[in-house]
Amino acid sequence: MSISESIRNRRSVGKVKPDPIAREQIEQILEAGIWAPNHRLTEPWKFFVLEGDGRYKLGDALVNVARAEGADEEKAASARNKVERAPVIIAVAVEPVDNSKVIELEEYGAVFAAIQNMLLVIHELGLGAVWRSGEPCYHAEMNKAFGLSEKGKMLGFIYLGVPERTDLTSKRTPFAEKTEWISEYNQ
């Protein structure tokens, strides 16, 4: 499969089987992540592989976030069960370097690129994944649960498994509708 085919055919797969994923495959996915471009080679990513009962580290963090945001106990408890959606969850965080010559936003960009690399390799391996993010990722309780610094942020959770379906399709707006070609510039 070419890179172009991978990019066009990869889909977010929210429903996966409970089958275990081989450690070698998980390591291939992590290896793809570390090859993302990053300014000044800061390597600002941090990965947490959650499998089996280890997924409940995230589940408990989600409960703590829900409680901190005023959710009732029933809703907070249901947040914990979200980790059962996949046999493996890779939590991906950014830890920006403390260097005035490094633009913090570029550190985030590097980790987002790492996540895309990982998603493409997941697709290449015939596995399925969905990248979940949202307000709970960025909450102080999440930083606390995963031991991130004050500047660090959880940027998403890759829910990984063997896809239940492989016939997923998608549609995109043609690039021409989102592109402006600039060939000349007159002030």
183 has binding-site annotation: no
User: pLDDT tens, position by position, for the chain (187 residues)?
Assistant: 788 988 888 999 999 999 999 999 999 999 999 999 999 999 999 999 999 999 999 999 999 999 999 999 999 989 999 999 999 999 999 999 999 999 999 999 999 999 999 999 999 999 999 999 999 999 999 999 999 999 999 999 999 999 998 787 888 999 999 999 999 998 8
55 has binding-site annotation: no
Q: Which helix (H) or strand (E) holds 102?
A: none
100 has binding-site annotation: no
pLDDT for the residue numbered 170: 85
pLDDT for the residue numbered 152: 98
Taking the domains of the chain in order of start, what are their residue ranges? 3-178
Nearest in space to 156 (alpha carbons), one of 124, 121, 108: 108
Contact 86, 161 (CB under 8 A): yes
80 has binding-site annotation: no
pLDDT for the residue numbered 169: 82
| Backbone φ and ψ of 160, nearest 5° | -125, 140
pLDDT for the residue numbered 15: 95
The architecture in CATH of the region 3-178 reads 3-Layer(aba) Sandwich (3.40)
pLDDT for the residue numbered 21: 98
2 has binding-site annotation: no
| Backbone φ and ψ of 130, nearest 5° | -135, 140
Contact 108, 86 (CB under 8 A): no
Strand partners, 51: 88
172 has binding-site annotation: no
Q: What is the pTM of this model?
A: 0.93
85 has binding-site annotation: no
| Backbone φ and ψ of 129, nearest 5° | -155, 155
Contact 49, 90 (CB under 8 A): yes
| Backbone φ and ψ of 51, nearest 5° | -140, 160
Residue 45, SS3 per DSSP: strand
pLDDT for the residue numbered 125: 96
